[in-house]
Structure 1
Amino acid sequence: MDTGVLEAKGRAIIDGNRFMTLGTANTDGDPWASPVFYVADGYSTFYWISSPEATQVRNIAVRPRVGIVVFDSQQQPGDDEAVYMAATACELTGTDLDRGLEIYLGAAPFGKGPEAFRPPGSYRAYRATVTEHFMLCPHASSRPCPLHGRTSDHRVAVSL
């Protein structure tokens, strides 16, 4: 398998989209999925803005490990191109907040300045740092994948 092709597709997916599905869990392990507008800094750091009262933010406070999926929701069924990521998320503070807002506000379509995302403002800035990237193996079919022995869709690690 040419992972270079998969990696190029993965970068194009992240570059070509602006919403990610952020998967979090509460203290009981109950899952929560949230679509959030993101700005990526490269392919391993994602920034977004949320209310500190949002369910995903409360979940991150107790379980910072998150799952992320970026995909084109307009693609045709069967295309199944997406980037799946494992990450650690946090609210930004101090110099991390300054840097995060510089990146986010430089690319996001918001008319608000950085003061809107600092206390006592209604929103805060968050960052997810990716630890692993995955994409679906292109060899899955009705016959076993020659590399992984599976016929069903399955993910393979990629380096973006």
Structure 2
Amino acid sequence: MTQEILDQRATAVIEANKYMTLATVDADGRPWVTPVYFTPDGHTDFYWVSSPEAEHSLNVARNPDVSIAIFDSSVAVGQASAVYFRARVELVPDEELERCAAFYSGRLRGLRTFTAEELRAPADLRLYRARTSHHWLLVRGGDPEYGTGIDSRRAVWS
């Protein structure tokens, strides 16, 4: 299997899923994990809307370094596809908010549109962006080309 195939598999996982699992830590170093609906911008930027008072939002305000997993939890055991990321989170800056709010809302396909004003302080919601720095694909132990009998991670988009 080539790096290109691994990269394509990872891209397919992102495109096929609507929720990502965001892992943060609180002020005492305790982990907190939460699913968030996301809009990807390739494999480097991921956007979501949350209350700044949500546990994960409070955590990233203190420590913007996060881990992310994107996967389909509905598949049978042994059939999982997943991508993992290390990233740094920021509130989308006001000067980018209009463009990024429209971009984020585009994946909602008419279910909801967020305007920049709805996502600007002191509103109840904010637009967050995770910028990824490291990327991996889950390779199942039974993968016909890369399988070793044990699940592993392979770097993608290096």
Unaligned 5+ runs, structure 1: none
Deviation beyond 6 Å, 4+ runs, structure 1: none
Q: CA deviation at 1:155?
A: 1.3
Secondary structure at the counterpart of residue 133 of structure 2: strand
- Within 5 A, what are the aligned runs for 1:14-29? 14-29=14-29
Residue 29 of structure 2 aligns with an amino acid whose one-letter code is: G
2: distance between equivalents of 1:44 and 1:30?
26
Q: CA deviation at 1:62?
A: 1.0
- Within 5 A, what are the aligned runs for 1:1-160? 1-108=1-108, 109-138=111-140, 140=141, 152-159=150-157
Secondary structure at the counterpart of residue 121 of structure 2: coil
Q: CA deviation at 1:16?
A: 1.0
Task: Write the deviation string for residues 32-65 of structure 1: whole angstroms up to 9, x where unpaired.
Answer: 0110000011111000000010000000011111
Q: CA deviation at 1:28?
A: 1.7
Q: Once structures 1 and 2 are overlaid, which stretch shifts more, 42-51 or 68-77?
A: 68-77
* TM-score normalized with structure 1 length: 0.86
Q: CA deviation at 1:151?
A: 5.6
Q: CA deviation at 1:81?
A: 0.9
Unaligned 5+ runs, structure 2: none
* TM-score normalized with structure 2 length: 0.87
Matched positions, count:
153
CA RMSD in angstroms comes to: 2.0
Secondary structure at the counterpart of residue 112 of structure 2: coil
Q: CA deviation at 1:154?
A: 2.3
2: distance between equivalents of 1:76 and 1:46?
27
Q: CA deviation at 1:126?
A: 0.2
2: distance between equivalents of 1:88 and 1:112?
23
